[in-house]
Structure 1
Amino acid sequence: MKKKLKAAGENERACWPWSVLYVINCNILFYLSGFSLALCHFGWASELVCYFTNWSQYRPDVGKYMPENVDPHLCTHLIYAFSIINSTNELITSESNDETLYKSFNGLKEKYELLEAYEAENAATGRPRLMLTALVAAQKGTIDAGYEIAEIAKYLDFINVMTYDFHGSWENVTGHNSPLYLGSGYTGENIYNTDFAMKYWRDEGAPVEKLRMGFATYGRTFRLSSLSGPSGAGASANGSGSAGKYTREAGFWSYYEVCTFLQGTSVKWIEDQKFPYATKGYEWVGFDNKESFETKVNYLKEEKFGGAFVWALDLDDFTGQFCDQGKYPLIGHLSTLLNRGTSHILIKGIIVTEGEKNHALVNQNYDMNRL
């Protein structure tokens, strides 16, 4: 699949968010504009955006995740990650079977009975109303170097702040992937936590109703340096924990792999940062569970942020085989906590540039709330 894009500067007003973000980051930005499901929910208080990853199809056995595994009733929007914008501004696939997956993903709208509504809007307007959204950094240094927040916020329908990966096995002490607050024992700057990141985006000019807070359905692991010292956040560590059986990445476990690890050990709680962790031998994992999600949703509502997003669908216990909590225990609980009702679906696509996928990602989504 290949489609030519306008170069930056052509139709400047329509392309402004892309061209300005590209200039201020100087090198490459990573854009999403595409296969996204906008889900129309009736009676919901906050939006819940969920990401589908096209590389999760390669996981072995029950870890394999495909479009047919998606339960779109959990979320108000679904986003397919990733396709690519190449160096000549053409849209190309990132996986050899993306076109097949796109069709399956797109087929969800028929399965969940919004095809007639979609066709009616399309006939009336000539084309669907597109939403422009962004998946953006939560680290202050990247934010300061990469975004004119007040300006881009004018053009974006909502902004997904990646409030995770604050800590990981690249550090020499343990730390939670997505802490809500700064820990009392942490001696660094108060910038590597969800509370700081969300308020920084707000205070720099992003309207609170446009901000979506990130919720991670995975944990980051470490290998403790010693069994005799402290084992909480800030404990001495020497690299990553072992790779998960299904995700197969050192230092990273899906929630369902965390559940397997928890058999034979106990969950501990860091009160000032509001997160759980567990240890077994030299292995240490910080993760989120229903309790930490509830604390974060209470915070989100108190601060009046516009909603949440989840990275990612395939990392929750989507089969219900591992955690003894039913299918999608974390995302399902999050959906309930956000006080949302039933959903219907419409679909559009997704794209990113070649290279890394860890900076700003810009999305175009159909807005089903305009039907």
Structure 2
Amino acid sequence: MAVVYYCLCLLAVLYVADGFVYKRVCYYTNWSQYRKGAGKFFPESIDPFLCTHINYAFATMKNHKLAPFEWNDEGATGGYARVNALKKKNPKLKTLLSVGGWNFGTLKMTAMMKTRANMNLFTRTSIKFLRDRNFDGLDLDFEYPGSRGSPSTDKHKFTVLLSTLKKAFIAEAKRTGKPRLLLTAAVSAGKTTIDAGYEVKAISRYLDFINLMSYDLHGGWESKTGFNAPLYSRRSEAAWQKQLNVAWAATYWVRRGCPSRKLVIGMATYGRAFKLRNPASHGVGVRTTGAAPVGPFTGESGFYAYYEICKNFIKGNEWNVKWDNEQKVPYAHKGNVWVGYDNEYSLQLKVKWLKSKRLGGWMVWDFDLDDFTGQFCGAGKFPLIKRLNKALKGVTITTTTFK
């Protein structure tokens, strides 16, 4: 009986449509171990059958080489080993080490890409670093070439770096007989950043797939309420605002030369929250006075994990929960706090949309922001990620009730 269950689990890893296997990419963050109480998340909290790929976030760089960021990433009982141990439960699972992130900035990236010698050093040492730690590939989360202090020349240099890495990964696999290391990147969804940072058609040749960070499209840094990851635009938006949605960003990447099957759509398991200027005015696009107060577990202003939203806003039945039928996402408000987020239904709609566009699958940021304990949302463990999986298989729900 156990053997049958194990085989069924392996089959469930591969969701196929028209002969195409969808990518299901989940990020694990090595700082989630420091959250308070029920918010603490460790590699052992991961269900290894929910995703096809796990990206370990984040590594850093020292002297143009990959380097661990957290004190306990390395070693026999460190984060790297514990995440890669999940492949013993699910041998089909692939793990990648993600380098960069928002707080990484751009200085180290620019310095490494400054010369061919530096790129070659990064490439050569990265192969050894990944192999020694049992990773299956490298994910580049450089935010962003050509922006945030990165010079315009980094746009082409990023292409050169990817070409260098891919050629070396192929050569190493031929030489050793090992499966080739995967090469992926997390990329921007904003037009200005895309134009400044990516030779889209060229980089698409070298990357195995591309993770579109189609979230953080609005947030507490703005003066009006807006959704973190709306699927579509609103009719009342200005022309530039109509670019700030998942569908527009994905379409732009494809039009610029990214093969649709290589584009993996980012899904958020968190919401962005604002303080309303006038609590009586609580719709979309109303005036705010900044980011909302910190959540009880994540501790970041204007940023709420899905389980925090369930615990504090929805299950208490004191919050007003609304559905925006134009942008296909929910929001909730109470007093002077407003939060836009994704729930099971909005994510289901996004998967239905990406399947209709023949895109490559979904990516989740991230494991530890879903209700991983199952104690807050009343829908078991990982309700959002499980809904993403069910939607790929064609299982649907029809309700827009979010409690």
Question: Could you tell me how far 1:298 is from its partner in structure 2?
Answer: 1.2
Assess, with a 3 A threshold, how the Cα gap between structure 1 residues 203 and 283 changes in structure 2: closer, same or farther.
Answer: same
Q: How far apart, CA to CA, are the structure 2 residues paired with 1:64 and 1:128?
A: 34
Partner residue in 2 for 1:329: 383
Match of 2:264 among 212, 221, 225: 212
Q: How far apart, CA to CA, are the structure 2 residues paired with 1:92 and 1:335?
A: 33
Partner residue in 1 for 2:68: 93
8 Å contact kept, 2:52–2:92: no
8 Å contact kept, 2:48–2:87: no
8 Å contact kept, 2:352–2:392: no
Q: How far apart, CA to CA, are the structure 2 residues paired with 1:79 and 1:323?
A: 25
Q: How far apart, CA to CA, are the structure 2 residues paired with 1:253 and 1:302?
A: 30
Q: How does 1:77-226 map to 2 (within 5 A)?
A: 77-86=53-62, 88-99=63-74, 100-112=78-90, 126-189=177-240, 190-226=242-278
Question: Could you tell me how far 1:114 is from its partner in structure 2?
Answer: 6.2
8 Å contact kept, 1:244–1:252: yes
Question: Could you tell me how far 1:329 is from its partner in structure 2?
Answer: 0.3
Partner residue in 1 for 2:16: 44
Q: How far apart, CA to CA, are the structure 2 residues paired with 1:160 and 1:199?
A: 14
Match of 2:334 among 280, 287, 291: 280
Q: How far apart, CA to CA, are the structure 1 residues paired with 2:263 and 2:196?
A: 19
Match of 1:62 among 17, 35, 38: 38
8 Å contact kept, 2:332–2:339: yes
8 Å contact kept, 2:232–2:327: yes
State the aligned residue count. 298
8 Å contact kept, 2:185–2:211: yes
Q: Relative to total residues, which structure has the larger helix share, 1 or 2?
A: 2
Question: Could you tell me how far 1:43 is from its partner in structure 2?
Answer: 4.5
Assess, with a 3 A threshold, how the Cα gap between structure 1 residues 43 and 49 changes in structure 2: closer, same or farther.
Answer: closer
Secondary structure at 2:16's aligned position in 1?
A: coil
Q: How far apart, CA to CA, are the structure 2 residues paired with 1:211 and 1:71?
A: 24
Cα deviations by residue, 1:257-296 (Å, 9 ceiling, x for unpaired): 0102222223201111111001011110000001101111
Secondary structure at 1:214's aligned position in 2?
A: strand
RMSD over aligned CA atoms reads 2.4
8 Å contact kept, 1:232–1:270: no
What amino acid sits opposite 1:60 in the alignment? K
Instruction: Provide the TM-score with structure 2 as the length reference.
Output: 0.70
Secondary structure at 2:217's aligned position in 1?
A: coil
Q: How far apart, CA to CA, are the structure 1 residues paired with 2:239 and 2:285?
A: 11
Q: How far apart, CA to CA, are the structure 2 residues paired with 1:72 and 1:123?
A: 29
Match of 1:268 among 319, 322, 331: 322
8 Å contact kept, 2:13–2:50: no
Q: Please, which runs of 5 or more residues in structure 2 have no aligned partner? A: 1-10, 94-133, 137-172, 395-403
8 Å contact kept, 1:40–1:76: no
8 Å contact kept, 1:138–1:163: yes
Secondary structure at 2:291's aligned position in 1?
A: coil
What amino acid sits opposite 1:108 in the alignment? L
Partner residue in 1 for 2:304: 253
Q: Please, which runs of 5 or more residues in structure 1 have no aligned partner? A: 1-38, 341-371
Match of 2:48 among 57, 72, 82: 72
